[in-house]
């Protein structure tokens, strides 16, 4: 691996870890109304007007999503789906790749209602993909169930 490429990956890892920590701190300690605008629009899962991406952008987004998932699992703090989606949004925005955070819910026997967040880039889910199909996004109407 070339030194420049190695340095870029190290910087990306640091950016992701810092993003996860900041996102988790915001969620835990700061009222949502104070930082909500940093997320941009929270979209419906079936939003029809997502911009098309080049193959390179789609690959880069998928690589970043895998890196976020891997690094989130290694943190000493809880970096679950919402901090991962927020971090992904921030990292991709810095690289000029459009993305949408989607939030959904489902009935859960133990918790009553469970929530989940995932990040979509084009038609691909890049964070939160393990469980998103089990949730109904807030943007979907009841007729879509």
What pTM does this model have? Answer: 0.86
Residues forming a β-bridge with 86:
none
Cβ(16)–Cβ(8) under 8 Å?
A: no
H and E: helices and strands count for the chain:
4, 5
Domain count, the chain: 1
Note the pLDDT of residue 95: 95
Domain ranges, residue 62: 3-144
1-28 per-position pLDDT tens digit: 588 888 999 999 999 999 999 999 999 9
Q: Are 145 and 54 in contact (CB under 8 A)?
A: no
Could you tell me the sign of the dihedral formed by the alpha carbons of 130, 135, 136, 137, in that order? Answer: negative
Strands 136-137 and 124-127: unpaired
For 92-125, the pLDDT digits (tens) are 999 999 998 998 888 877 778 888 999 999 888 9
Per-residue burial over 43-68, b = 16 or more CB atoms within 10 Å of its CB, e = otherwise: bbbeeeeeeebeeebbebbeebbebb
């Amino acid at each position: 691996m070339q030194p420049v490429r190695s340095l870029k990956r190290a910087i990306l890892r640091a950016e992701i870890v810092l993003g996860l920590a900041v996102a988790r701190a915001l969620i835990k300690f700061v009222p949502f109304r104070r930082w909500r605008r940093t997320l941009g629009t929270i979209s419906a899962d079936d939003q029809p007007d997502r911009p098309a991406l080049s193959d390179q952008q789609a690959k880069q987004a998928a690589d970043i999503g895998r890196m976020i998932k891997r690094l989130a699992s290694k943190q000493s703090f809880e970096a679950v789906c919402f901090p991962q989606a927020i971090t992904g949004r921030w990292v991709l925005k810095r690289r000029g790749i459009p993305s949408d955070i989607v939030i959904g819910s489902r009935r859960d026997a133990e918790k009553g209602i469970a929530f989940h967040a995932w990040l979509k880039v084009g038609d691909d889910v890049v964070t939160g993909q393990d469980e998103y199909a089990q949730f109904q996004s807030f943007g979907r109407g009841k007729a879509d169930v």
